[in-house]
Chains A and B, each alone.
Chain A
Amino acid sequence: MNIVVLVKQVPDSGADRNLRSDDNTVDRGSANNVINEMDEYAIEEALRIKEAHGGEVTVLTMGPEKAAESIRKALSMGPDKAVHVLDDALHGSCAVATSKVLAAALGQLGADLVLCGAESTDGRVQVMPHMLAERLGIAALTGARKLTVDGDNLTVERQTEEGYEVVAAATPAVVSVWDTINEPRYPSFKGIMAAKKKPVQTLSLAELGIGADEVGLAGATSTVLAHSRRPERSGGERFTDDGSGGTRLVEFLATEKFV
């Protein structure tokens, strides 16, 4: 099975993150950039499918020069090769344009199965799997906590607000995974060394047949007008329990009309 895993480099969600003051895009320059956590689960799932059924695993990233670090990190877990869509014109692309670019790259790669994280920690938008499926005319099974591959048939178990659902589709398909699906492996020393030699192909917009005016800030379908830091919450009253903590808590709730 030809599996492509979408990997996005994001600013570390455990540190302070900002938007740039000049063009309101995510500040990637000053941030500690890492692989979007949920994508590691997608890589792990891809590797497990390859181990069980054979095939090839390709990492696909759209991002600036810097994203190459995350690509190597992803490869060190075990995928065979990577494709990096790299073009200065992509800076500031909206989700709609990003899906156009990724769909074009996926078209060239001819994937049977596209795996990705259910959402990224920077945007948390959750739209990409369905945007890609819509463009490629293939199925999208989203938010998988379990994925079963049987020949060309995929079955996914996904959490819903009321319980869970079992959904099925034939390949080719996009499957997004939640962090409950598996436990990603740590790259081994051997894996890290091997990753240095694995092929990473870069693709430009021209090679994908997409015009620079269709992407980036210029081609965006939505725009950020302004941004500001939310005022920090300041801690309020703190009561050290002297045996009446529960009662004091309820007194507070009562003054706020919650009881």
Chain B
Amino acid sequence: MSEVLVVVEATREFGVKKVTLELLTLARELGTPAAVVLGGPGAAAALGDKLGEYGAEKIYAAEHEEIDGYLVAPKATVLAELVRRVQPAAVLLAASQEGKEIAARLAVKLDNGVLTDVVGLAADGTATQVAFAGSTIVTSKVTRGLPLVALRPNSVTPSPAAATPTVEQLDVALGGADKLARVVERVAEQKGSRPELTEASVVVSGGRGVGNADNFKLVEELADLLGGAVGASRAAVDSGFYPHQFQVGQTGKTVSPQLYVALGISGAIQHRAGMQTSKTIVAVNKDAEAPIFELADFGVVGDLFKVVPQAAEEIRKRR
């Protein structure tokens, strides 16, 4: 069986990202999963066990300071070289900003079609995508080249299937064009132990109704009790209640958790764009006419400042 290349995403703090495990799970349906680690020296060693646990038969490791020292172009160059050599059955990436950007460059380098924000992929390469704020389902296919697909996090349930990967070091030969966008500084901002927003299985979001930045503690508290990430509506972000990186919606992150809790959010179409495909939706809003209730599997019409503390207390009691 041909190899299916999975481009690995990892964080220093949590190691291999969940979406990569989803990709490995998916890759097993399409061929022999081969993980590609692109990073600084020593990047692959720390990730090998986890990648093997989820079925990577092989790990291609491209490790070089310059891979981390410049934006995506070096990664695309190494990957294009690898694709030309091993002729994989497919290349799978995460539909993160970086995953999509690597895919973009790869598509041009290989003159190959690319599909992003894919939520399902069949063995014959037919992809499912959700378009227009979650209102439309599209099936599509790459018609030139191999399936080059960026998968939206939380689309596949990762399942382990132990393998013992062999590791192959890749040569990193970069040209001038790969080294034009230099990373000057990377600043990690403290965000505690909460899961990453797009990967979390529970997301608790606050809107304008939360009232101010201080009150977002209520949203955070409920998120922590449910083991979830915190999100925010654009109105909450624009009002300075919560940082932009946590915005959910049309111009923010798209999330698709098992549970989405909307607190003081009206449910505008642009907000729905980012959360409509969540499995279960719960809302608290004092306005019975708020459109968010049209989506909610369970809604409480009431004041969030009464409902949320009581809910938090009840969860603690049940522990």
Contacts and interface: CB of A to CB of B under 8 A. Distances in A.
Contacts of A247: 310-311, 314
B245 interface: yes
Given A162-B188, A224-B139, A241-B306, A131 B298 contact: no
Interface in A1-55: 13-19, 24, 37-38
B225 to A, nearest CB: 8
Interface string B127-151: 0001111111111111111000000
Nearest to A159: B245
Interface secondary structure of A, over-half rule = mixed
- Give chain A's interface residue range (CB within 8 Å of chain B): 35 or more
Given A124-B117, A165-B187, A139 B296 contact: no
B113 interface: yes
* Range for the number of chain B residues in contact with chain A: 35 or more
Contact of A164 (B142, B187, B284, B303): B187
B113 A227 contact: no
A250 B284 CA distance: 12
B114 A127 contact: yes
Contacts of A17: 132-133, 135-136
Contacts of A179: 251
Contact of A180 (B185, B196, B244, B284): B244
Interface stretch (B158-166, B207-215, B287-295): B287-295
Contacts, number: 279
B64 interface: no
A194 interface: no
B181 A227 contact: no
Contacts of B182: 167-169
Interface stretch (A91-99, A105-113, A204-212): A91-99
Nearest to B311: A246
B111 A162 contact: no
Given A223-B141, A230-B135, A238-B299, A168 B188 contact: no
Given A173-B180, A239-B299, A259-B318, A221 B113 contact: yes
Contact of A221 (B11, B111, B307): B111
A160 B101 CA distance: 13
Contacts of B187: 163-166
B65 interface: no
B138 to A, nearest CB: 5
24 contacts: A17-B135, A96-B111, A125-B100, A127-B114, A127-B116, A133-B105, A162-B12, A163-B188, A221-B113, A221-B142, A222-B115, A222-B144, A226-B138, A227-B136, A230-B137, A235-B296, A236-B296, A245-B306, A245-B310, A245-B311, A248-B300, A250-B318, A256-B259, A258-B226
Q: Which 7 A-B pairs have the closest CB atoms?
A: A246-B310, A241-B302, A221-B113, A127-B104, A139-B180, A222-B113, A246-B311
